Amino acid sequence: MKKLFNILAAALLVLPLLWGCSEKDNLFPDSYKKVFAFKDNSTINLSMNTTQDAVVDSLLILRGGGDPASASTLHMRVMTKAEACEKWGYSENDIEVIPENSFKFVNGADLSLGKDDAYAYTVVSFNPEAIYEAMQSNPKATYILPVELTSSTDTINSDLSQVLFTLNVQRPMLQWGSGNDDLQITYQSLDAKIPVEITQSEYNNV
């Protein structure tokens, strides 16, 4: 009974201190009030073809922390080649970052979240033809888009802040079929079936 009395007395001493504090401002340090992170901090491998106008993928961003219910602004930053090498263990001769004209953040590189938003998507659109053109300058390299989640006002989970896209773009080969059919042209025009086979180019060339 005496032990129970001591516990209750200690609780009564602590509770007024807690009530005298701001519930959110003091229980959680500023750096932990809002924390953002990519849901998947991984390498995303995308294969595409130059016949496609665009290839789209999205990244899910989650918000947490002790006081997440307030507006926030985030930024999608494209990392440098040197930063990508350090993060993912490449040598500089192994990779090339795709040029600016070959991708875009569909909803902008800057994202705004309202106080009631628990997550956000950033959508990335890739231009296969532009990537393929860039690949011709260094065909042996792996072409990448390294993206980092940043914010000037809120905390970013550094363990879940970077995503790597690797891009493989191929161009179809057009092969004409063979045949010895003799056709007669009448009235200066002719409709004829010509056999054509489209195959994938293993070495990205025709």
Task: Give the pLDDT confidence score for residue 18 in this predicted structure.
Answer: 40
Q: CA-to-CA distance for 198 and 203, rounded, in angstroms?
A: 15
Residue 152, classed as helix, strand or coil, is: coil
Which of 16-30, 99-113, 179-193 is modeled with the greatest confidence?
99-113
Of all residues in the chain, the percent with pLDDT exceeding 70 is 65
pTM above 0.85, yes or no: no
Of 12 and 68, the structure prediction assigns the larger pLDDT to 68
Residue 181 structure tokens: 């059919």
CB 8 within 8 A of CB 1: no
Give yes or no for residue 193 having a pLDDT over 80: no
Span 72-115, pLDDT tens digits: 889 999 999 999 999 999 999 999 999 999 999 999 999 988 88
184 pLDDT more than 60: no
- Residue 165 or residue 195, greater confidence: 165
Q: H or E stretch including 118?
A: none
